[in-house]
Structure 1
Amino acid sequence: MPSTEEKLLAYLKRVTADLKQAQRRLREAEASDTEPIAIVGMACRYPGEVHSADDLWRLLAEGGDAISKFPDDRGWNTEELYDPDPDSPGRNYVREGGFLYDATEFDADFFGISPREALAMDPQQRIMLEVAWETFEHAGLKPESFAGSRTGVFAGISNVDYTWGHARVPEAVEGYFGTGNFASVLSGRLAYTFGLEGPALTVDTACSSSLVALHLAAHALRRGECEAALVGGVTVMSNPSGFVEFSRQRGLAPDGRCKAFAASADGFGPAEGAGMLLVERLADAVRSGHQVLAVVRGSAVNQDGASNGLAAPNGPSQERVIRQALQNARLSPEQVDAVEAHGTGTTLGDPIEAQALLATYGQGRPAEQPLWLGSVKSNIGHTSAAAGVAGIIKMVMALRHGVLPRSLHIDEPTPQVDWSTGAVSLLTEPIDWPDTDRPRRAGVSAFGISGTNAHIILEQAPTQETPNTHTPLPATPWLLSAKAPAALRAQARRLHTHITHNPHLDPTDIAHALATTRTTHEHRTAVVADDRAAFLHGLSALADEAVSPHAIEAGRAVPGKTVFVFPGQGSQWAGMGRELLDTSPVFAARITECETALAPHVDWSLTDVLRGNDNAPGLDRVDVVQPALFAVMISLAALWQHHGIQPDAVIGHSQGEIAAAHIAGALTLDDAARIVALRSQALLPLAGKGGMTSLATTHDQALDLIQPWGQDLSIASVNGPHSTVVSGTPQALDQLHTTCEQHGIRARRIPVDYASHSPQVETIHTQVLTAAHDINPQPTTIPLYSTVTTQPIDGTTLNAHYWYTNLRHTVRFEEAARQLLAEGHGHFIEATAHPVLALAVEEVIEAAGAEARVTGTLRRDHGGLLQLHTALATAWSQGVDVNWTSLLAGSGVMPVDLPTYPFQRRRYWLEPGAAPVSAAAGTVAVEEMESGEAATALARALAGATEAGRETILIELVQSRVAAVLGHEAPESVDTERAFKELGFDSLTAMQLRNRLNAATGLRLPTTLVFSHPSPKALAQYLAGVLRPDEDAAAARPPVLRDIDLLEDSLWAQSFDEATRELVARRLDALQRRLSGGASDGADAGVGGEVDAVALDTASDDELFQILDEQLGSA
C-alpha cells in the first residue's frame, strides 16, 4: 500500500497536470476571444461617382466634395420641398446632399430576378446584391465558391422607406412587396443568392449599424459560428421625409455638408451609400493564400443608456467603448495612430466626441506624436447605416497607402473643445502616416442616434509571402465572360481602361486573375497575345464589336459532351510540331514516347521529320506522313488532356481512327504505332496507281455521278451532307473533274497518289492483315464511335480484320458524327496540326439542327503556344471546361486588382401615386386575358406555316408570355435559351405563365410545365409536339383567312397610344359582330406532365427548382 507521502506526491502531480491543462485552455480561450480578423475584400458605392474602394480613395486623396443637388428621378418635387424656414411644415431648408444617382437602377437579369420582383424590391437590397458580388471579386474569390459554406451575413440598414407613399400595394408587384421591403430580408436575400449557410443578421442601430455588424461578425468568427462573413451597411433615401424630419430638429447643415470638428460646424448632411467587407480569421486567410488588406485587432459595442436625451450623445459611454475596444485588442492608446471619427458636424455631437477622444487616445502620448483625427463625412456626407463601413474602407486604404487624407471644411477647430487637454490633432492637411517601429493602427467610431456606440481598431496587414521568381508565359489568354453580350463588351472596355492606366501590370498576372478569380458566365470571349499592344488591340476590338487577330469571336457557350476528332491525311505541313517540341514539355514527352513506339517499324527519326532536318525523309511519302500525323495527333490530344479536357468520346477518320483507338484505351501505344507504321508501308505498292477527289455534293449525287466509271471510281468517304470523297484511277478522276466542271460541281484533287477505300486496297489485303495480326485490343475506357459501323464499338473487336475494313470500306464519318450529336455531344475538338474535318462537322451540325461547336488545335504555319492557347481559349469560350491552373502553374504570378463585373442596369422605381415603371422606364406589362380567339388564331397560323415557321411562331408565343408574366416591356428582353430559374421564375410566375399559355393555345397544360421544360426554347419545342397541324384544314383554308392573318400580324407589330388602341378595338369589335357565327374550337386537350403534379403543387419554390435541377440538369 502506498504511503501518505506517495499519495500526496501523486495528488500534487495530478493537480499540477490539471492546472497546466486549465491554463492552456484559458490561454486558448483568451486567444480565441482576441484572434485577429482579416479583411480580404471590399466594395462600396458612395456619392461622388464612387463605385469602388479605389474610387473612394481617389476622392479622398484629391480632397473631393461629393455633395450635390437632390436627385430628379425619384418623384420628389424638389421645388415644393425646399423652404429656407426651418419651421415650415412638410418642407426642409436644404437643397443638397450626398446621393447615389444610380440608386434607381439594377441589373435584375444578372441575379435571376424578374422585372416585377426587382420593381418591388427596396433599392437597398438591390444595391447590396451588386456590392456583395463586387466584394467577392475584389477579394479575388469566385462567389460560387462560397455556396454551401458556413459564411455569415451581417448587414446594417436603418432606413426602409421605399414603400412609403403607397396606400396599397401596386397590383403589378403583389406577391413580392413583403420580401422586397422587410429589413430582415436584406441579410436573408444575400445569403439566399450566394448560398451562404452561416448566421444571417440584419442589424439596425442607426448610424452605428455597419460597425456593430462588423463587431458581431468578428465574434461569430472567433466562436466558430462561421468561417467567413460578408459585413456592411446600406442607406438609400427613397423619399425626402428624413430631410423634413431633421429640418424640424434643426439638425441639418443648410449647405448639406458635414464640417466635422470645425468652428463653422452647423449640422450634418444626409447622404446615401453602401459598403461591404469580406472578413475571415487571419490564420485562415493566410493559410488559404488570400490577400489580407487589413486586420481587425479589436472591437467593442455599448449603449448610452439614460443620457441627456434619447438622441443625445453620452461622452462617458464613448470613452468606455474606446477603452473596451483597446482592451479587446490588447493595446494601449498610444499604440494607435489615428481615428476615423463619427464626426457628423453637429454642434452637440462633435464636442462630446472630441472630449472622449482627448480623454482616451489623447492621454499618455508625446505632443509630437498626436492622435490624428479625421472624418470621411466631410467628403461624402453622413451615410447613416453605411457610415461606419465607409470609415473602415477609408482607413484600410489609408493604412495601405501610408497616407492620412485631410478632412474638408475645417476653417479652424471648434472652440467648444479644449484641445489642450490631450494630444489630438485634426487632419486639416494630408500627411504621411507617422513612421513607427510597429504596424500602423487606426480606430474607427460610429455612434447611433438611438444610443448604440461602436469602436473598431484596425491594424496594417502583415507582410505576406510573394513568389520569388516570375516567369511570364510567351503567349497568354485573357478570359472574359458575362451574362449578356453588352456586359461582355463593357468588360473588355473596362479592362482596356484599367490596363492603359496601369502599364506596370504583367500579362501573366492578369491572365491568372481572370482565369482563377472570376466567375465563368455563358457569354464568353478571350484575347490571346504575346505583348501589351496586342492585348490592348484585342480588347478594343471586342469593346467595339470589331475584328482583331488577337480576339476570339464573342459567343454563347453551349452545353454538351466533348469529342476528340482525328482525321486521316491532309493536316500535315513542313514544320508542324517543331515549336511545341521546344516550348511544351508535355508535347515533347509524348512525341518521344511515340518515337520509341515507332522505332521498331521505321528506319527514320520522328523528331528529325518534325524538325525538318536534312537527313529526314519528306512528308510526301505515305509511310512517313501517316505515322508522323499519328504521333502529332496523339501528342496534341495529350496537351488537351493536360489542360483538363477529357473527351467523352472519340472519332477517327480513316487512319485517324488508329489514334482515336489509342486515346479510347483500345490500343496500347505500341500496338497503335505498329498498325499505323505497317499499314502505311502496305500502301506503298499502290502509289502512283490512284488518287482521291473531294466533291461538294451529297453521297447520293456522288454515287450517281461516278456510276459511268464502274469499279474505277468509288465513294471513299462521306464527310458531311455536301462533302463526299471519291477515290479511283488517275484517268477516271481526271474525267470526273471534267464532268464536274460541266455540271458546276466543285471538285478538288486531294494530294495523294493512291486510292484508299477503293477496290485497289484488296491487292494489299494480306499485308494489312499481317501488319496487325498480333495486336491485343482491349475494351475502351472512352467510347470510340467507329466510322466503319457509325456506332460505339467494342474495343476488343479492333483486330486485324477490322483495320483492313477500315482501309477498304467507305468512311461513314457523317453518320457517326450525327450519332454523336444525337447522343448529346456538343463540342468537337480536332486534335491536328491543321483543321481538316472542321468544315464537314459544321455542315453535319447545321444539317442536324443541333447546337454544337467545332474547335481546331494548330493551324498551318502557326504551330506554337500562341496558337495552342488560342485553341484552348476558343474551346473555353464555346463552353468547354479548361483547367487554366495547369497552363499558369509555375509562372510565379502576383495577385492583381482587376475591374469588377460591369452590371447592365435598368431603371426600377415605384413612384407614389403613379403607375409602376418597368425596366425600360415604361409601364409594367398589365395582365392580359387571353381569349378563345387567340387559340383559334394560333391554330390557323400553325396550320399554314412551314416547320421553321412553326418553331418561330411558338418561340415568339412563349417569349411574349414570359415577358408579360415577368414584367419585361419587350419580348426581346427575354433570352429564350436561359433557364426559367435564371430568368427569375418562381412558383407564382410559373403558374401565371401556364395559365396564359392555356388560354393562348386552347390546351390544358400541366402544372409542371415550367419545371419539366426548363427554358422558353425548350417549352416552345414541347408545344410544337402537342400542337400538331391539321394538314387537311390548312389546305382548305380560304384566301380571306390569310388576309386576316396579315392584319393580325400587322396589329401585333404596332405600338398604339390608349386612344388609338380603343378606336382599333371598337372597329374590330364591330367587324366581329357583323361576321359573328363562327365557333371557336377551344380544344381542351389534356397534356400529361412528366413529374408528379400533386407533389409539385405542394412544393416550395426551392423544392420545385430542385426538382427541375435533378430532372433536367438546369441551373
Structure 2
Amino acid sequence: MGDIAIVGIDCTFPGAAGVQAYWDLLMRGGSGTGPVPAQRWEAREFPAVCGSGGFIDDADVFDSDFFSVAPREAAAMDPHHRLLLPCAWRALEDSGRAPGELSGTETGVFVGVMGGEWGRLTMSDLARVTPLLGAGSSAGMAANRISYHFNFTGPSLAVDTACSSSLVAVHLAASSLLTGECDTALAGGVNIVLSPSLGLVYEQLGLAAGDGRCKPFSADADGIGRGDGVGLVVLRRLDDALADGQRVYAVLRGSAVNQDGRSNGVIAPNRWSQERVLASAYRRAGTTPDRVAFVEAHGTGTVLGDAIECAALGAVHGVARGTPCAIGSVKGNLGHTEGAAGIAGLIKTALALHHRIVPASLHAGRENPRLRLGERGLRLLKSPMRLPRGESLAGVSSFGMGGTNAHAVLATAPRPTGARTPRAVGARTAPGAVGVFTVSADTPEALRRNLAAQAEAVARRPRGAAAALCWSSNRIKTGLPYRFAATVRDGDELVDALREAAGHPDTAAGAARPWGRPVVAFLFTGQGTEYPGMTAGLHRESPAYRRHLAEADEALAGHLGTSVRELILSGDDRVHRPEFAQPALFAVGYALARTLTSLGITPAAVLGHSLGEYAAAVTAGALELGEAARLVARRGALMSELPRGGGMTAVAAGPGELAELLAREPEVVAAALNGPADTVLSGPLDALARIARELDLRGVKAKPLPVAHAFHSPLLAPAAADLRTLAVRCAPPALPLASTRYGRMLRHEPMDADYWADQIEEPVLMDTALGALVSDIAPTHLIEIGPRSQLLDIAARGGRAAGVEFLHPAPGGAATGRELAETVAALHRCGLDPRWEELYEPAHRVVEALAPYVFCADHRYWDRQAPQAGPALSDPATETTTAHVTAHAPEPVPAPAAARVGDDDPVLLAVVEAVGEVGGYPRERVVREARFHEDLGFDSVMIMQLKNRVEARLPRVGEVSVQQMLPALRSVGSLATFLGDVIMARSA
C-alpha cells in the first residue's frame, strides 16, 4: 500500500472544540463527559443510563448564511450534516489551502455516520413529510452536502459499519487516493446523541455504564457511555503533499477492513477476526507488529469487549520485543462516539506522532488484572509516553457492533527537506521580511470576528518575523468576498494591524466587498527620475524584482559593455549621464512591470512618458526585450554625443498662456503637454532663463529640470535622423497602448524606426494620451512604473483620473519591498487574487498554523421534538405539507420603514413574502438584491414551491412555468420585474 499523508485535521469532541483543545484535553487527562443537555431529552426520564455522557456544546449552532442554506432547510437538516460542513472547511484550511481552491476538483468525501435517529424523530408523522426533511434525514447526504457546497466532483459516500464507520471511511479514502480516483480526500465521521434510544439498547444488552463513562481496560470498567463527536482529516498521497509543501501530521502506511462472519451472535466481537485485521494491516503497511510502539485500541470499557480485544492484541503484538506494546483508548476521555469513534482514535494517534508524545489513557490507574496485559506483551499507558528519535509506528483499531473491523497503521512524518517544506510552529525566519497578511470572510461582521481571532492567535505566538505567517494566510485565508490585507514585517506589527481593523466600525480597509477585479493601467516614467541607488531597497527584498532586473541587465550588457544593474545598485553618479540614465531607467521600468505581472497584476492598458514608452512597448508586446534594449542603448548613446547647452523647464501654465512668450523665443518649444496647466519647455538655456524671469513677474511657477539636453526639441534632430535609419522589429501591441507620441490610443500605426525617431524630437502629449486611456478602459487603479513618483503627480494635477486610486511600488529612495507589498495588498482588497508566491523568498514560503475560521454562532437550529412554532405551509407542488421545524435565531432588527423592501410595490412585496415563507427568512433579510442561489440557498424544489406561492399571491400573473421564470431567477428584484411585466402584458 502506498503512503498517505494526513495534512489537515479538524474536530469537535466533548470538552474539546478544535484540534488544539482536543490535544490539551488528552494531555491533561481531562474528561468531556457530563449531564445530558436540556435540549436533548429529560434526563430524569432515563436516569440510570441516559442521564450523562459525552456531549459537545452548541450542537445546534449552524452558520446557515455562510453555507447558503435557507433557514427552513437548515432546520430540517440532520445535525450531523450541519456539524460536518464547518468541520470540513476548517480541516481544509488546516491542510494549508483555501477551501475554494479545490472547487471543481475530483476531491473525495468519505464520512462515517451511524444510525438514523434524526429521520425517526422528524419523519414519523407521515402527514408532515417534506422534501427538505427527506434530504435532511438521509445518511448519504452527510457526505453529499460537503461535496455540493465545496463543488467537489470526486467520490462522495457515507459509510455505516456501526462503530467502525469513520475508520472504514478513512480506509476507503486512502484506497481512492491510491487508485487515482481523487488527489485529495476528506475522511472522518460524526455522531450526535439525539435520543436515549440506543442507550436503552445498551442497557438491555448489559453494555451500558451506569455513570455514562467508558473506562477502557480498567478494573472499574462497567460498560459504554455514549458520546458526541465530529472529526475529519484531509488526506493526500505523501509525494504530492511533500511536493506542495504541506505540513504532514502523520503518514498512513496501510489499513485493512474485515468482518467477523458468523460468530457468537451478530453483535458479539470475534477475537480471531480482530487478529486477522491487525495482521492484514501490518502486511499492507510493509511492517511487522514488533515495530509498533503503541496501539490506540477500540477500548469501549465493556468486560467482554476489552477481554477479547486484549487477547487479540496480545496474540499479534506479544512477540519478542524490547518493550511491551503500549495501549490506550480515547473513549475514556470522550465516551463512545460510535460513528466518530474511529476518527477520534485516528486523530489522537496522528497528533501523538506529530508531537512525539502519547497521552495517558484515562481510567488506567486501576488496570484490570484479568486482562493479563503484561503476560501478553502489552502495557496500559498510565502516564504520557515520549517517542524516540527516528520513525515511530502506531496502530488504530475500530470495531463495529455488527462485526466490521478496521485497523490502520500510522507512522511519524518524514523529516522535511528542501526550501518549501513545513517547519515547526514558532520557528523563526530571517527577521524583517515584508509580507501581506490576508483574512477574508462572508460578511463585514464575520471579517471583524475573524480578524479578532487571528489577532489573539498571533499574539500567543513567539515574537519574530511574520513573512511565513503572511504566506500561509495568502494560501488559506482568501477566497471569501470581504477582504482584509495588511503589510507587515513582524508579529507585533501584525497583531496591532489586526486588532485595529477588528475594532474599527468599517473593518478598516477590508469592509467593502469587491464585486469585480480591479482594472489597472501602467504608467511608465521617463527620464529625469533617475538617481544613484534607485530601487536598491526593493532589489534587496524582492526575489521577483531581482530576477527581472537581471533579465534587463543581460539584454543591455552587450550594447553597453557594462552591467547597468551594478551601476544602479552601486550608487554610481554616472546614472545621470544619458548613455547610462536611459538604459538604467528602461531596466527599472521593465523589471518593475514584469514583477507586477508575475504577481498576477496584468494591466488593461499601458502608457509611457517619453523614454518610458520603450518599457511600455515591451509590456504591451509591441517590442521584444532584446530589441527594446538595443534601441534604448542606441538612443542614450546618441543623446550623449549631442552638444550640451540645452535644457528643460516645467511651467504651471498651458500652451495658450505661453504662446506669446514662445513666439518671442522661437528656439524654445513645448516639449511635453502634461496637463491643462502643466507644460514642459525645451530649448537653449539662455532663452529658457528669459522666459522663466517673465513668468516669475506674472506669478507663474517655472522650475528648471535637472537634464543636460533640450529633449523633444529640434536640437535632437541629429539623433532622430540616426534612429530613423535603424531596422526595428516590432509587432502590433497585444495590450491597448496610449501613445504619448500621438496623444491618443495607438491604432494600427507601427512602433517602427520612424515612430521612435519622431518620438524624441516631437512633444510628449501626455494629457490627451492619459485622457484617451481613461476613456477607453475606465481604470480603477493607475500604477506608476519608475523609481519615483512623477506621472501620478501629473495625473492628479491634470484631473484626468478622478476617482481612480494611485499606486506606486517604488516611490523613491526610501522605498523597500513594503511599497510593492502595499500595492499588491491594495489590489487584493479590490478583488485581485495575486500569485502570492512571487512576493516571498523561497525560505518564507512555508506553512504555518493559523487560527481556524470562526463561524457565526447566532443561529441555532434543531429541537429534538420538532415543536410546531407556526402553521404548516401547504405545498401544492408536492401535495404535501412543509413541516416547520424551529430555527432558533436572534430576532432581526426591523428595517426603517422607508427602507423596507416592497412597501410601495405590491408585486415585489408578494415576491418578498413568498421568498420568506419558502426559505424561512424574516422579511428584513429578503432584499431586492438578494440572489436566489448564492445568497438565499434556493434549490429546484424551493423554486417550485416559490412559483406556487407567487401564483397564489398574484392571481393576475396566472400560471407561469418554471422554464419561463428561470431567466428572471437572478435576484428577488429581477423576479419581481419579470412578474410585473407578465401582469402588464396579460392586462393589455
User: In the alignment, is residue 891 of structure 1 matched against residue 843 of structure 2?
Assistant: yes
Residue pair 2:159, 2:168 contacting (<8 A) in 1 also: yes
Q: Matched residues in 2 for 1:918 and 1:841: separation?
A: 55
**Paired residue for 2:332, among 378, 382, 394?**
378
Q: 1:406 to 1:263 in 2, by over 3 A?
A: same
Instruction: Specify the code of the residue in structure 2 equivalent to 1:303.
Output: Q
Q: Cα distance 1:579–1:906, how it changes in 2: closer, same or farther (>3 A)?
A: same
Q: Which amino acid aligns with 2:547?
A: V
Are 1:267 and 2:220 counterparts? no
Task: State the Cα distance separating 1:269 from its structure 2 match.
Answer: 1.9
Report the CA distance shift for 1:329/1:860 in structure 2 as closer, same or farther (over 3 A): closer
Residue 191 of structure 1 contacts residue 200 of structure 1 at CA under 8 Å; is this kept in 2?
yes
Aligned to 1:664: 620
Q: Which moved more, 1:138-147 or 1:567-576?
A: 567-576
Of residues 483, 501, 506 in structure 1, which corresponds to 2:441? 483
Q: How big is each residue's C-alpha offset from its partner over 1:1004-1036, in whole Å with a ceiling of 9 and x where there is no partner?
A: 99968997689759x77x999x99xxxxxxxxx
Q: 1:807 to 1:458 in 2, by over 3 A?
A: same
The answer to whether structure 1 residue 784 and structure 2 residue 742 are counterparts is no
Is 1:773 equivalent to 2:673 in the alignment?
no
Which one of the candidate residues 536, 546, 549 is aligned to 1:585? 546
CA contact (8 A) 1:597 1:669 kept: no
Deviation, 1:640, is 1.8
2:872 maps to: none
Using the alignment, how far apart are the partners of 1:113 and 1:656 within structure 2?
53
Is residue 82 from structure 1 mapped to residue 44 from structure 2 by the alignment?
yes
* Alignment partner of 1:450 out of 389, 395, 402: 402
Q: 1:337 to 1:604 in 2, by over 3 A?
A: closer
Q: Which residue of 1 aligns with 2:13?
A: 46
Distance 1:565 1:1084 in 2: 52
SS at 2:290 equivalent: helix
Aligned 1:143-154 pairs, distance under 5 A = 143-144=99-100, 146-154=102-110
Q: Which residue of 2 aligns with 1:56?
A: 22
Distance change >3 Å, CA 244–CA 82, structure 1 → 2: farther
Residue of structure 1 in register with 2:684 after alignment: none
Provide the residue aligned with 1:1111 in structure 2.
none
* CA-to-aligned-CA distance 1:36-61 (integer Å, 9 cap, x gap): 44433322221213312x33222111
Between stretches 870-879 and 166-175, larger displacement belongs to 166-175
1:70 — aligned with what?
Answer: 36
SS in 2 for 1:781: coil
Q: Which amino acid aligns with 1:82?
A: R
Which of 650, 674, 677 is the matching residue for 2:606?
A: 650
The one of 813, 819, 832 equivalent to 2:786 is 832
Match of residue 139 from structure 2: 183
1:869 equivalenced with 2:824 (yes/no)? no
Equivalent in the alignment of 1:565 = 523
Note the residue ranges of structure 1 that are not aligned, 5 or more in a row: 1-33, 87-92, 695-701, 739-747, 926-930, 939-953, 1028-1079, 1088-1115
Deviation string for 1:921-946 (max 9, x for gaps)?
44999xxxxx99967579xxxxxxxx
Q: Deviations over 1:178-206 (max 9, x none)?
A: 33321112222333334444433211111
**What secondary structure is seen at the aligned counterpart in 1 of 2:300?**
coil
Q: Which amino acid aligns with 1:272?
A: D
Q: Tell me whether 1:390 sits opposite 2:344 in the alignment.
A: yes
Question: For 2:819 and 2:761, how far apart are their aligned partners in 1?
Answer: 36
**Structure 1 pair 838–965 and aligned structure 2 pair: CA distance change class (3 A):** farther
- In the alignment, what sits opposite 2:651? 692
1:392 Cα shift?
A: 0.9
* In 2, Cα distance between equivalents of 1:346 and 1:114: 43
CA distance in 1, matches of 2:459, 2:763: 57
Match of 2:148 in 1: 192
More deviation, 229-238/497-506: 497-506
Which of 393, 414, 429 aligns to 1:441? It is 393
Change in 2 beyond 3 A, CA 1:417/1:982: same
TM-score when scaled to structure 2? 0.79
CA distance in 1, matches of 2:579, 2:696: 25
Between 468-477 and 136-145, report the one with greater CA deviation: 468-477
Structure-1-length-normalised TM-score: 0.71
Per-residue deviation at 1:65? 1.4
Provide, for residues 87-133 of structure 1, a one-character-per-residue CA deviation record: whole Å limited to 9, x for no partner. xxxxxx54332222132223334444444433332222232222223
CA contact under 8 A between 2:673 and 2:763: conserved in structure 1?
Answer: no
User: Following the alignment from structure 2 to structure 1, what is the Cα–Cα distance between the partners of residues 748 and 301?
Assistant: 82
Q: Which residue of 2 aligns with 1:30?
A: none
* 2:362 matches 1:403: no
> Counterpart of 2:381?
427
Partner of 2:190, secondary structure, is: strand
- Counterpart position of 2:169: 213
Query: Which residue does 2:294 correspond to in 1?
Result: 338
Alpha carbons of structure 1 residues 1081 and 374: separation in structure 2 relative to 1, 3 Å: closer
Q: What residue in structure 2 maps to residue 947 of structure 1?
A: none
Aligned ranges for residues 823-972 of structure 1 at < 5 Å? 826-836=780-790, 838=792, 854-888=806-840, 890-891=842-843, 894-911=846-863, 912-915=866-869, 916-918=885-887, 920-922=889-891, 966-969=919-922, 971=924
Check the 8 A contact 2:549/2:587 in 1, yes or no. no
Aligned equivalent of 2:878: none
Letter in 2 for 1:867: E
Mapped to 2, the partners of 1:105 and 1:138 lie a distance apart of 21
Match of 1:57, SS state, is helix
Native 8 Å contact 2:901 2:912 kept in 1: no
C-alpha displacement of 1:831: 1.7
1:968-1017 deviation digits (Å, cap 9, x = unpaired): 44756979598954663444556778899998999999968997689759
Letter of the aligned partner of 1:375 in structure 2? S
In structure 2, how many angstroms separate the alpha carbons of the residues matched to 1:322 and 1:579?
60
Q: Is the 8 A contact 2:36 2:52 kept in 1?
A: yes
Alignment equivalent of 1:527, drawn from 447, 466, 486: 486
| Residues 772 and 174 of structure 1: CA distance in aligned 2, closer, same or farther (over 3 Å) | farther
Asked if the contact 2:437–2:488 (Cα under 8 Å) also holds between the matched residues in 1, the reply is no
Question: Cα distance 1:1023–1:648, how it changes in 2: closer, same or farther (>3 A)?
Answer: farther
Is this contact kept in 2: 1:715–1:725, CA < 8 A? no
The percent of aligned pairs where both chains have the same amino acid is: 32
1:510 maps to a residue whose letter is: L
Q: Which has the higher contact order (CA 8 A, sep 6+)?
A: 2
Preserved CA contact (<8 Å) 2:911 2:976? no
Query: 1:963 Cα shift?
Result: 7.1
> Is there any run of 5+ residues in structure 2 with no aligned partner, and where?
422-427, 682-690, 870-884, 895-899
Residues 777 and 795 of structure 1 are in contact (CA less than 8 Å); yes or no, is this contact kept in structure 2? no
Q: Distance in 2 between matches of 1:966 and 1:430?
A: 51
Q: 1:834 to 1:804 in 2, by over 3 A?
A: closer
1:661 alignment partner AA: A
- What aligned pairs does 1:654-803 form with structure 2 within 5 A after superposition? 656-667=612-623, 668-672=628-632, 687=647, 691-693=650-652, 725=678, 730=692, 770=721, 773-774=724-725, 776=728, 778-779=730-731, 780-786=733-739, 788=742, 790-796=744-750, 799-800=754-755, 803=759
Counterpart CA distance in 1 for 2:164 and 2:196 is 21
Contact 2:743 2:767 in 1 (8 A): no
**How big is the shift at 1:595?**
7.0
Give the deviation of 1:883 after TM superposition: 2.7
- CA distance in structure 1 between the partners assigned to 2:225 and 2:673 by the alignment: 79
After TM superposition, give the deviation of residue 383 of structure 1 in Å: 1.0
Distance 2:962 2:643 in 1: 64
Offset at residue 379 of structure 1 (A): 0.9
Q: How many residues are aligned here?
A: 929
Structure 1 residue matching 2:169: 3-state secondary structure = helix
* Residue 897 of structure 2: aligned partner: none
Cα distance in 2 for partners of 1:1083, 1:706 equals 66
